[in-house]
A and B are shown apart, each in its own frame.
Chain A
Amino acid sequence: MELAFDRKMHDDDRLAFVRRYAAWVKGVPNEEWSRQQGALIDSFIGNARNMPLSCREYLERVADRKQSIR
């Protein structure tokens, strides 16, 4: 369970990281930030492709997720 106090601190930490990360991206050539980001995204996509789901199961999962966000 995440307490309200912990959540606020966690959110602040994450936002501080986003600012630091954006500052780093702005300071390096496109080749550098995009190669590091590409390793993360390509790995994510590669793993996701191995997910043993049918189209129907996937669409149901997406619908459930959207329902839980509302």
Chain B
Amino acid sequence: MDVRCSDKRIVVSGKYITLLDRFVQDFVRILGQETPYVIVSGFVAILFGRSRGTEDVDVLIPRLTPEDFAHLHRALVKGGFAFLNEEDADGLSEMLERNRPIRIARAGQIIPNIEMKFIKDDVDRLVLKDHLELELPGGDLCISPIDIQIAYNLFLGGRKDIEDALYLWEIFRDDLDTAAMTRALDLFGVRGDEYGIGV
């Protein structure tokens, strides 16, 4: 794997772009013109080669006013996307305000889809602020910092989550800052010793 990491940017050249990658790139091309965003959770590990599929991709955005969300709603619909929830733009905005996720797919399809949420706490704010720019053939993506993603997956604690954490650790262990990794583990109150993560 040829991954070039520098400060807040990761370059993965020559990667085959999957149908899932293309879907996400098309989506964030519109989203990114309207608001900052960050991709979190399982898709981050998949981007770097984890051998599993997923039907949805988690995306965090800052809290938008109903007017700004209506603007984003119009832009996404115009760009060929549709909301799986039945609510109109006002209803979707209310759902987000109540920290409930909404789902967006290409019009006429259900899978794959984006599960989008407003940021809700300091950890979300940190992930959005400290996001990494991932350069891929076909378009850049904003993704969560790898150390925080590893710690968050350990915190979630499911089989798939731990495997994702371990995979990211094995891929990036030589590029991660030890102190930053320790801070991320402390942030979620988790330890990775059992899996050889962060040690």
Check A48 for interface membership: any CB of B closer than 8 A: yes
Selected from A22, A30, A38, the residue in CB contact (under 8 A) with B14 is A30
The stretch of B64-72, B140-148, B163-171 that contacts the partner chain = B163-171
* A46-B16 CB under 8 A given contacts A18-B167, A59-B84: no
* A44-B53 CB under 8 A given contacts A22-B170, A51-B111, A55-B110: yes
* A29-B163 CB under 8 A given contacts A45-B53, A48-B112, A69-B158: no
Selected from A11, A42, A56, the residue in CB contact (under 8 A) with B86 is A56
Interface positions of A (Cβ within 8 A of B) = 11, 14-15, 18-19, 21-23, 25-31, 33-38, 40-42, 44-46, 48-49, 51, 53, 55-56, 58-59, 62, 69
The 8 closest A-B pairs by CB, nearest first: A44-B53, A22-B170, A48-B111, A34-B16, A30-B14, A38-B16, A41-B18, A25-B49
Query: Known contacts A31-B16, A36-B51; can you find 15 more A-B pairs with CB under 8 A?
Result: A14-B163, A15-B195, A22-B49, A22-B166, A22-B171, A25-B171, A29-B14, A33-B1, A34-B15, A37-B18, A40-B51, A44-B53, A45-B18, A55-B110, A58-B111
Interface positions of B (Cβ within 8 A of A) = 1-2, 12-20, 23, 46, 48-53, 55-56, 84-86, 103, 109-112, 158-159, 162-163, 166-167, 170-171, 195
